Amino acid sequence: MAVKVLVIGSSNTDMVVKTESFPKPGETVLGGVFLINPGGKGANQAVAAARSGADVRFVTKVGKDIFGKQSIEGFSREGLDITNIVETDEFASGIALITVSESGENQIVVASGANMDLNPADLPDSIFEDIKFVLLQLEIPLQTIKYIVQKCIALNIKVILNPAPAVMLEDNLLRGIYLITPNETETQIITGILPDSSDSLREATSFFQSKGIKNVIITLGKKGVFLMTEKYSQLIPALEVKPVDTTAAGDVFNGAILTALSDGKDWIEACQFACKAAAISVTRMGAQSSAPYRHELN
């Protein structure tokens, strides 16, 4: 039976336009296919974890609007435990406007809405019961992140932080993290180091470890991931695929790494499992809809 895990974070509705190339400032380009997909880093990661085999409790905040209603219906179909999702009539549900180029790259603008009203008061103690791992991102208020981390320290729950979108984080927050999973851009923003070589990767991971985080995974897109723990220090390559849409690759990786670690896989196996999930996801359009199922990963 899968170990129960907790994901706390954002829920958005993604409005996606495919286009040959991104417009320059002030330019209008004619796009192609338009899609409306469920998204948001928290929701993406929760769905990815559930599809890859985890028993997921998901906590988020949505507006009492059509987007919030559709999101909740989607979470229910995915089998998430959504008992503690919060609905508000004070804010609209979050949305994201996404442009995807012919090469599969993306540009995203987010209107956070209810996500930035997810407060500690919305998180009852009961959500932490029987939980071994908590996965967080930074699309909810930082004060809420701090509260969750301190709560998890007190309860001996392991916190995985995907620091996206990247902001400068206080040392006392970083000390409570079991695993941090920045990409190259987020690593540079937080550490001041661009991880573009083996030396700079080790320098960046050493920065995180100096703050008290023993386990670091820097995601490097098509190059794979760089893993640093007390036992490992190595690059784990990605699978070679032809990308169609990279929108949620990082989210799928984080959801899958949560599943793998909660399953008891070692670090190498966990990274390989999550890299495979991310590789499959970029061959498909959409965010949550691109996450692979357990049978595809086996």
Domain at 261, CATH number: 3.40.1190.20
In the chain the beta strands, taken as DSSP E runs, fall at: 4-8, 12-18, 34-39, 55-59, 61-63, 86-88, 94-100, 106-111, 133-136, 158-161, 179-180, 215-219, 225-228, 233-236
How sure is the predictor about 197, in pLDDT bands with cuts at 50, 70 and 90?
Answer: very high
At residue 157, the pLDDT reads: 97
147-168 pLDDT tens trace: 999 999 999 999 999 999 999 8
193 in any annotated domain: yes
Domain that holds residue 276: 4-21+34-297
Percent of the residues in the chain that have a pLDDT greater than 70, as a whole number: 100
pLDDT band at 100 (very low <50, low <70, confident <90, very high): confident
Render pLDDT for 229-276 as a digit per residue (tens, 0 to 9). Answer: 999 999 999 999 988 888 789 999 999 999 999 999 999 999 999 999
Torsion sign across C-alpha atoms 75, 106, 223, 190: negative
Per-residue CA distances from 192 to 138, 170, 195 (Å): 19, 15, 9
Q: Is residue 26 part of a domain?
A: no
Treating both helix axes as pointing N-terminal to C-terminal, what angle do 41-51 and 249-262 enclose, rounded to 10 degrees? Answer: 50
Question: Would 107 be classed as within a structural domain?
Answer: yes
3-class DSSP state of 232: coil
**Number of domains composing the chain:** 1
Give me the residues paired with residue 228 across strands: 216, 233
* Residue 28 in domain: no
Mean pLDDT over residues 99-108, rounded? 86
pLDDT at residue 88 greater than cutoff 80 = yes
Please check whether residue 112 lies inside any domain of the structure: yes
For residues 3-19, average pLDDT: 93
Judge whether 4 and 215 are in contact, CB under 8 Å.
no
Beta strands 215-219 and 225-228 are antiparallel
Task: At 5, give phi and psi (nearest 5°).
Answer: -125, 160
pLDDT over 90 (residue 108): no
pTM: 0.92
How would you list the strands of the sheet with 12-18, edge to edge? Answer: 34-39, 12-18, 94-100, 106-111
Residue 84 within any structural domain of the chain:
yes
State the average pLDDT for the chain: 95
- pLDDT tier for residue 3 given thresholds of 50, 70 and 90: confident
Task: Report CA 271 to chain centroid distance, whole Å.
Answer: 15
Using DSSP, how many helices (H) and how many strands (E) does the chain show? 9, 14
Among candidate residues 196, 251, 263, 266, the one labeled active-site is 251
State which H helix or E strand residue 294 sits in.
Answer: helix 294-297
Cis omega (within 30 of 0) for bond into 182: no
Q: Over 80: is that where the pLDDT of 84 sits? A: yes
The mean per-residue pLDDT over the stretch 196-210 comes to: 96
Are the beta carbons of 221 and 183 closer than 8 angstroms? yes
Q: Is 251 a catalytic residue?
A: yes
